[in-house]
Structure 1
Amino acid sequence: MAEFLYLSEQKLYGRLGVKRITSQLSASGTLKVPPVIDISASRSRSEDVLGGATLDDLMKGVKKVDELHDPADFTEFNLQRNRWIRFDLNLAQNVVYEDSGRPPADVALFAGDVPAGEAGQPRDMGFLLCGSIQHLRTQDLPPGRMGSDTTWLHDLILELDRREQEGNHVIPEFLTEVVPSREGERTREQAAFGVHGWMSRDWPMPERSRMRGYAIVLMDIDNSNWTHRLVVASPLYVEVAPQRATPRRRFSLAVRRRSRPRRGSSLF
């Protein structure tokens, strides 16, 4: 049984060109879209009357990415804009609105971390997925502010989504062609680091769920201006994955680090 948290039909049917299923087909598994629709092995179904993407369509899309676009692992180095990647790691999830705006939220965020020494990373690596809230398959998250000085990033996320709706699926080499900015590149990078930073602090690793999926790279920020690397991407889909088994540890009397209380708000 698969639980999908996010699915961009614009990427599936637009960018990948998957044809919607219109004939009666049998399907197995579970795909949750608002309202929840249960597709089981005992049922047959036609295309979702609500316009939601079907599980079969998504499987076709993933196969197309694998066969035609050679997706990279999200930890590979020098990821170029528009590159397809696959990811599998523990992620925090949140929904936000522009810092000076008011609810309801309009941006969905997922954030994770890869410690230095893992997956060949010489230093810590952050991972940030961002997209329009309209592609979320779960609607029970309390909204928060995106954070100070993040207006450009907020507008970029929504403008890229609008372009996809109009059939423009190629992300320009310079993101300022999508949303102009008078700020320098470092200031724009700071917006992404700021959002990833407060999500990493507010959702410690034990509070995150293992998630996996596919996405398109927006930024791979890996330079000496920052203490760690950060990859920012726009997801095709995000699904909950089974937690990996962890080895049992013997009880130790070693001094334990006290956990810092969670702030409970997505504010800087």
Structure 2
Amino acid sequence: MRFNNMIYFSRRRLEAFFPDRPSRRMPTVAASVDFQVAAVELTPPAERTPTEAELHKLRQVRREIEHKAAHFYAPDLTTGDWIYFDLRMGWSTSHEDSALPDLDDVLLFFGSMPNERGRGGTPVDLMLCGSTEHLLKKTATAGRMGSGTGWLHSLILKINGSDARGSTEIPEDLNRQALAAPRVNRPNQVARWVFDVIARHHAPAHRARIQGLARVDLNIPEGEYVPRLIVATPLYVQDTSRKPTRWITRLRLHRDLCRRYGHSIWKLNPDLPPRDRNRYYNPADQQPAPSRHA
């Protein structure tokens, strides 16, 4: 399989597989001094497209884990398992509930496998959670993750931090004791809420058939009214589909998406507050583009 048209690529997670090899990608240092304050700022490297050396490493890692990776709809997944996914998904950037709207720091993908692939004939939902640090394409925001979802936002950043330290251990937040600890908002509930938010608020333009590899964070059993949900952290995500050029085909895909998530077929934009409408996170600038409604 070739790597092309990547949407997400975690250099941190890749380098964690090579702990004894120092990374060649070091941040540059920019210093500014005035008469009262001296400031040193770490600036990430400008290059975002994976280099040939990085793609070679990624091929090595993929060969290592593909033989043990399961499809994301496999019935007996546990935290730490590697999964392979290939399905239509939507994606958007997001931020913590209490953060300012221009501080999107997480990237969320969502999608569902049709009934025939799920256990007992029910769909299986998949949500991929990563850092915008590894986003390669300009992407519209979905706004805040939602009230009471701080646990998942914190987990995403902790995993990204562990990858930076070269650690591949499962975070303590995901062990049985931590997940069973009494709290107002249980992790299973939080994950389901965030999945529902991103499904309602993602921009329709950011939806395609994608594939890649990810590591399972949570395998949430199906409930009386909701399907099973897999929450995972991706290593890479690439777009494998061509956008349809015929307007009738695009309209049919839009109609199917609206039916799946209970939207009006005439509603072409996500239901976002004014401050988040038409706002984008642009990796090239490493800053979100300003909102037209600011």
Residue in structure 2 matched with residue 193 of structure 1 by the alignment: 192
Residue in structure 2 matched with residue 5 of structure 1 by the alignment: 7
Q: Given that residues 173 and 179 in structure 2 are in contact (C-alpha distance below 8 angstroms), is that contact kept between their aligned partners in structure 1?
A: no
- Distance in 1 between residues matched to 2:60 and 2:20, nearest whole Å: 7
Could you list the runs of 4 or more consecutive aligned residues of structure 1 that deviate by over 6 angstroms after TM superposition?
Answer: 176-181, 204-207
Using a 3 Å threshold, how does the CA distance of structure 1 residues 110 and 11 change in structure 2: closer, same or farther?
same
Structure 1 residue 14 corresponds to structure 2 residue 16? yes
What are the equivalent positions in structure 2 for 1:82-97 lying under 5 Å apart?
Answer: 82-97=80-95
Using a 3 Å threshold, how does the CA distance of structure 1 residues 173 and 75 change in structure 2: closer, same or farther?
farther
Q: CA RMSD in A?
A: 3.6
TM-score (norm 2): 0.67
Shift of 1:64: 1.5
Shift of 1:241: 0.7
- Distance in 1 between residues matched to 2:210 and 2:112, nearest whole Å: 12
Q: Given that residues 115 and 121 in structure 1 are in contact (C-alpha distance below 8 angstroms), is that contact kept between their aligned partners in structure 2?
A: no
Q: Which amino acid aligns with 2:234?
A: P
Residue in structure 1 matched with residue 167 of structure 2 by the alignment: 168
Using a 3 Å threshold, how does the CA distance of structure 1 residues 191 and 121 change in structure 2: closer, same or farther?
same
- Distance in 1 between residues matched to 2:235 and 2:89, nearest whole Å: 16
Residue in structure 2 matched with residue 98 of structure 1 by the alignment: 96
- Which of 76, 84, 87 is equivalent to 2:74? 76
Residue in structure 2 matched with residue 183 of structure 1 by the alignment: 183
Q: Given that residues 108 and 127 in structure 2 are in contact (C-alpha distance below 8 angstroms), is that contact kept between their aligned partners in structure 1?
A: yes
Residue in structure 2 matched with residue 130 of structure 1 by the alignment: 129
Using a 3 Å threshold, how does the CA distance of structure 1 residues 182 and 63 change in structure 2: closer, same or farther?
same
Deviations 1:36-59 (A, max 9, x none): 6597xxxxx7x5xxxxxx222211
Using a 3 Å threshold, how does the CA distance of structure 1 residues 117 and 224 change in structure 2: closer, same or farther?
same
Structure 1 residue 265 corresponds to structure 2 residue 282? no
Residue 16 of structure 2 aligns to a residue in which SS?
helix
Residue 11 of structure 1 aligns to a residue in which SS?
helix
Shift of 1:223: 4.1
What are the equivalent positions in structure 2 for 1:1-268 lying under 5 Å apart?
Answer: 2-15=4-17, 35=47, 37=49, 47=53, 54-67=54-67, 70-102=68-100, 103-118=102-117, 122-142=121-141, 144-172=143-171, 175=174, 182-183=182-183, 187-203=186-202, 208-224=207-223, 227-243=226-242, 259=265, 261=267, 262-265=269-272
What is the aligned length?
234
Q: Which amino acid aligns with 2:199?
A: S
Shift of 1:93: 1.0
Using a 3 Å threshold, how does the CA distance of structure 1 residues 38 and 180 change in structure 2: closer, same or farther?
closer
Deviations 1:150-177 (A, max 9, x none): 1111011101211222232111475267
Q: Percent identity of the aligned residues?
A: 27
Select the structure that is richer in helix.
2
Unaligned runs of 5+ in 2: 25-44, 250-255, 277-294
Q: Given that residues 12 and 18 in structure 1 are in contact (C-alpha distance below 8 angstroms), is that contact kept between their aligned partners in structure 2?
A: no
Residue in structure 2 matched with residue 28 of structure 1 by the alignment: none
Instruction: Point out the more displaced range, 151-160 or 12-21.
Output: 12-21
